[in-house]
Amino acid sequence: MTAYNAVTEVETQAIRRLVKLLQSRPGGKRLEQVFWAASGSEAIQKALWAALARDPSRQMIIATRFGFHGKKGLAGAVTGCETDHDRDPRVRFISFPMAECADVGMRERSFDPGPYRLELENLRRELGSRLGVLITEPYLGGGGSYHPPQAYLQLLQDFCRDNDIVFILDEVQSNFGRTGAMFAFETYGLEPDMVVLGKGLGNGVPVSAAVGRADLFASLDYGEGSDTWSANPLGCAAVLATLDEFADRDVLGPCLRSSAIIEEGLVRLKDLPFVGRVRGEKGGMVWGLEMQDFAGRSAADWANAAVLACYRGLPNQPQSDGIHLLGPLAKKVLRIAPPLVISESEAREAMELMHRLLAALLAS
């Protein structure tokens, strides 16, 4: 498991394959080198270290409010918002366009970039050349599954380009097909200076990576980004296995068909009076099902009840099928993130079951 002091053949193979794949995708040309880690938050930390090492006078970090990047160190410092806990004084937050995030199957809501541009310009006027890096998720994951207009993320990237600020895209959750394309930077028309990959990168094996411009990683001195388990042979073998699956068969094609079935089933759930919104990307494999207040019960109560109902299965049938969901995001949003290999029949059965389980809550 350790590769602390030596490079292994399996690591070099994984690096070459991953960089080749990323650079072959629209928007991936800046992604030149790989910086391995063992978890998403560690890779975020390393990406930020590299971005800040570029220029000691540019230590201020911009993060989008209510994002989730990790729980410790700099990854924790750029998570959430200003009022969560004591903050690293280098971090400033900007608004994420939650109100402008449209439901799936609906026309995208109008987006006025003016207020968001003003926020950025105010920070530029206040902090000037002290600004060094901006980090965002392509969509808010833990913050409630909010999928923004493309124009918002492109505004952030343009601001970074105009002011020589490193643009980091946290794709730990969104990489490998979750937004309909292989990577979310393709979905949103972006060209990040650094992208952070995890979760789907190793399909259950703990491995992650920050991939970005070679000059940024070269800013770190020897050993500054190292740790005991990064680039271990098992993790690198898992990356190669993942890349082999995508290279050897069409993973995303069947995904699109299953995605359409799941989307239709989730939109149907809006017929239930406690289901408010369904957010996601067309053709993607992650959605946010947002509950709303109804019949004297709060949205959070309905969300918790829905999770328990899906887990327990149909009432009075102790051996009945259920659906495993995580606890609610942002207290009232259920994340729907099935495996990419879910078949069309499995997707259809799951949506029928979910409708029966949640409809039964009205009678309970």
pLDDT tens digits along 71-99: 989 999 999 998 876 779 999 999 999 99
Mean pLDDT of the chain: 94
The band of 33, judged by pLDDT with boundaries at 50, 70 and 90, is very high
The band of 320, judged by pLDDT with boundaries at 50, 70 and 90, is confident
The band of 107, judged by pLDDT with boundaries at 50, 70 and 90, is low
| Average pLDDT estimate for 219-229 | 89
Summarize pLDDT for 271-304 with one digit per residue, the tens.
999 999 999 998 999 999 999 999 999 999 999 9
Summarize pLDDT for 125-142 with one digit per residue, the tens.
999 999 999 999 999 999
The band of 174, judged by pLDDT with boundaries at 50, 70 and 90, is very high
In which residue ranges of the chain is CATH 3.40.640.10 found? 9-248
Q: Is the pLDDT score of 314 beyond 80?
A: no
**Contacts for 90 with CB less than 8 Å, ≥ 6 apart:** 59, 60, 61, 77
The band of 109, judged by pLDDT with boundaries at 50, 70 and 90, is low
Give the model's pLDDT for residue 194. Answer: 98
Q: Please state the φ and ψ torsions of residue 243, each to the nearest 5 degrees.
A: -65, -35
Mapping DSSP to helix (H, G, I), strand (E, B) and coil, where does residue 27 land?
A: coil
In which residue ranges of the chain is CATH 3.90.1150.10 found? 252-363
The amino acid present at 111, given as its one-letter code, is: F
Share of the chain above pLDDT 70, in %: 98
Q: Which of 25-39, 275-289, 316-330, 346-360 has the weakest average pLDDT?
A: 316-330
> Which CATH number does the domain 9-248 belong to among 3.40.640.10, 3.10.129.10, 3.90.550.10, 3.30.360.10?
3.40.640.10
Share of the chain above pLDDT 90, in %: 86
Give the model's pLDDT for residue 364. Answer: 75
**Contacts for 72 with CB less than 8 Å, ≥ 6 apart:** 41, 45
Summarize pLDDT for 113-127 with one digit per residue, the tens.
999 999 999 999 999
DSSP string, 257-272: HHHHHHHHHHHHGGGS
Q: Please state the φ and ψ torsions of residue 166, each to the nearest 5 degrees.
A: -70, 130
- Smallest CA-to-CA distance from 279 within 181, 140, 151 is with 140
CATH number 3.10.20.70 given to 252-363: no
Summarize pLDDT for 188-200 with one digit per residue, the tens.
999 999 999 999 9
Q: Please state the φ and ψ torsions of residue 353, each to the nearest 5 degrees.
A: -65, -45
Give the model's pLDDT for residue 201. Answer: 97
More confident residue, 313 or 57: 57
The amino acid present at 97, given as its one-letter code, is: P
Give the model's pLDDT for residue 218. Answer: 96
Q: How far apart are CA 341 and CA 288, in angstroms?
A: 20
Give the model's pLDDT for residue 3. Answer: 77
Give the model's pLDDT for residue 315. Answer: 74
